Amino acid sequence: MNANLLDTLKQGLAGPFTELAAQHLGEPATGIKSALGAAIPALLASLIKENTSAGGTNKLLGLINAPNLPLLQDVGTLLTPDKIGVVSAMGQQQLSSLFGQKLAPLTSSLSSESNFKLPAMGKLLALVTPFVLGFIRHQAGGGTIDASTLSSLFKGQESFLSGRIPAAIASVLGLGSLIGAAPKAVAQAIPDAGHKIEAVAAKSGFGRWWLWLLGLAAILFSIFQFRSCSQPDIPPELPKIMEKTVSPAPAPAASTAMELPALADKPPLIRVYFDTDVFAPPANSKNELAAIVEYAKNHPAAKISISGYHDKTGEPAHNIELAKNRATAVQKLLTEAGIQADRIVLEEPAYTVADMADNRESRRVEVEIK
């Protein structure tokens, strides 16, 4: 029988992730725990439901097999001020792919169920989702995961999730047919039946048969359990993620392998120079931007910053507008090359005092991976 992914994942998130997320969001650790307690079952159930259709499986495999997914043991090195934005951007894209228009009502329902602020819940979901997907790939054996391996990993997980997802959230995600309440009803029925037997025994004067009836019920239950599972339950092995958490610090090479997009081997800053009082990019601009475009396409979480510059001569309003138009023209080149507009950040225009006779340094746009 498969290990309980829900409890294993919640254990993995209970330590450094909760503490660092609390610091980043400015919320108490108790609030983070409560929010994760509502969010993690919903995320896992959504992944399992996604895997019930061919199209959903393909989408899920695309997310799980994406390069540079983080692992839980790397939380301490990734949820830092200089890298946490990359993790969050990756998670936001993954959430949009998974939930689409359902993301907003899901976030609202999770916020209500856990009494956690709505904006903070959105940010927390974006932070935790990459680690959830990385956890799934790790539990499936790592490397490139196929549909058969994923289905095998998810087999039987519905029983662990049953009764752990509030009705409002299950309704938003359409989980009714997948995550039922049967196990919860059975858990309630057992003590109810015991109370009824006790009452009948007392009323009918058969109190002496009470212990015998309980013993018979225990025997019947054991036979049912034996027939339902071909082998006895084996306590799940301690996940590799948790083993690494308590083991000595990994070698430097291991952390290097877990670098996230836009953190390593990114191209240098690119400068595009313009003619005087002109905002049309020069003819060779596309070639100059090629390295930025290629990197951005291979690193979906990366952002691109564009800064337009102008000198101090002439009318200030005209110069500012000229710098903006130059930056916008470069942005257009990037979008035409296939980069989504929401990944491009236009900075405020700035001026420079050029040291060249023709002020060439002042008539430029800088393009950089952030």
Higher-pLDDT residue of 274 and 236 is: 274
Which residue bears the tokens 């339950």?
Answer: 233
| Count of the separate structural domains present in the chain | 3
Same domain, 65 and 169: yes
In one-letter notation, the amino acid at residue 174 is G
Per-residue confidence (pLDDT) for residue 353, from 0 to 100: 52
Lowest mean pLDDT across 52-66, 112-126, 225-239: 225-239
At 351, which CATH number?
Answer: 3.30.1330.60
Could you tell me if residue 84 is inside a domain?
yes
* 3-state class (DSSP) for residue 310: strand
Per-residue confidence (pLDDT) for residue 187, from 0 to 100: 33
The total number of residues shown for the chain amounts to 370
In one-letter notation, the amino acid at residue 204 is S
Q: What's the rounded Cα separation, in Å, for the pair 284 and 292?
A: 14
Per-residue confidence (pLDDT) for residue 303, from 0 to 100: 92
Same domain, 44 and 134: yes
Question: What are phi and psi for residue 21, nearest 5 degrees?
Answer: -65, -40
Per-residue confidence (pLDDT) for residue 220, from 0 to 100: 64
Domain that holds residue 93: 5-173
Same domain, 64 and 200: no
User: What is the number of other CB atoms lying within 10 angstroms of the CB of residue 119?
Assistant: 11
- Say if residue 172's pLDDT is above 70: yes
**pLDDT band for position 177 (cuts 50, 70, 90):** low
Could you tell me if residue 239 is inside a domain?
no
